[in-house]
Amino acid sequence: MRPPPPTLLPPLLLLLSGFGAAAPPADSLAQLPTPGNLKVHLYNAQQALSWEPVSLDSDPRLVVYQVQYKYSTSSNWYDVNKEDSKVDCTNLTRTECDFTANSLSEGFPRRFNISLRVRAKLGGLVSAWATAPWFEHYRNATIGPPENIRVTPEEGSLIIRLSAPFDVPASEAYFVYYVYYWEKAGDKQVTDPFESNFITLNDLKPLRVYCFQVQAKLILTKENISRPGHLSKISCSKTAADASVKLQQDILAAVTTFLVLSVVVGSCLFLVLKYRGLVKHWFHSPPSIPSQIEEYLKDPAQPILDALDKDSSPKEDTWDSVSVVTFPENEQEGTPQSAWNQNTEPSHQPTEGVL
């Protein structure tokens, strides 16, 4: 938008500035119905004007609309065009003109009183101008709730991060935030105002569910004016445990684990002792086929007796021989009754006195 003129201008400047303004047609030339039900929409940074459509039953052509604006410090009206407003609302086919700024340097200045008007056009026919009431954005805009609300549980606290409802120049205004919070099924409390987008709710009970809503309030820097906004949706979060509660939880978990393992091991031992016969039967290895029969099964042509006699002769064993030497009874005095002679050499034939 072009900058607003000063409050007081010399008559010559007022006369010159009126040359570029569009002059409304005389009421006698108005031949179309006037657009009705004008509404100015101001929500956060949004600026828009809407109206009811105009139509002629006898003319099938499409009606277009022209929108103009002026500041309270001037008597001149200006077209809402791309050159001045970044928006073209001189020949609209829709019944809304959106002036919402893409940046803080665009759109209508938020600290000035502005008036808007619209008329319908159809070929050479025009309607009378319909004028909307004056508005100042900061004073009349509806302030929405904070945006992008995120919560992080901590030990006995909640950390809330958020964004402002819309951007404002620091030289003109700023936001403060109030948090309404309560323990589930508890009384609602409200914090002192926070000017930061980083809010910490302290002194909360650990491992409890808390719900909260956040409200933004717009404060005008050079004026004693504040505009409260809407509350955010209800959000709930559970606080984290503090150090003592964590220790108790760890101890309880360890004891519970030990008891569960004890019960499991005891149950298994009891079942094994009670059903040990069945367990031995389950784990007993199945009987194996003798090697001679297995050889016969591999070669049925071989006689069964030869298969049984094959490798059936006992293998030579190795043992130690023991000799017993006896003496006559009359020679027993002074002489040992027996002497043991151990022979480590293997022997395969029985000898006298060998056991």
Q: For 220-238, write each residue's pLDDT tens digit.
A: 988 888 999 999 999 999 9
Q: Is residue 337 part of a domain?
A: no
- Of residues 113 and 19, more confidence is placed in 113
Query: Could you tell me which residues are beta bridge partners of residue 213?
Result: 180
CB atoms inside a 10 Å sphere around CB 70: 20
What is the count of structural domains for the chain?
Answer: 2
Q: Is residue 157 part of a domain?
A: yes
Q: 163: domain CATH number?
A: 2.60.40.10
The residue type found at 97 is C
Q: Is residue 229 part of a domain?
A: yes
Digit-coded pLDDT (tens) for 115-149: 999 999 998 899 999 999 999 999 999 999 999 99
Q: Is the pLDDT of residue 167 over 60?
A: yes
pLDDT at site 315:
53
Q: Which of 83, 115, 139 is the last residue of a domain?
A: 139
Q: Which of 205, 221, 244 is the last residue of a domain?
A: 244
Q: Is residue 283 part of a domain?
A: no
Domain extent, residue 45, equals: 36-139
pLDDT band at 337 (very low <50, low <70, confident <90, very high): very low
pLDDT at site 23:
43
Percentage of residues of the chain with pLDDT beyond 90:
42
pLDDT at site 325:
61
Predicted structure pTM score: 0.60
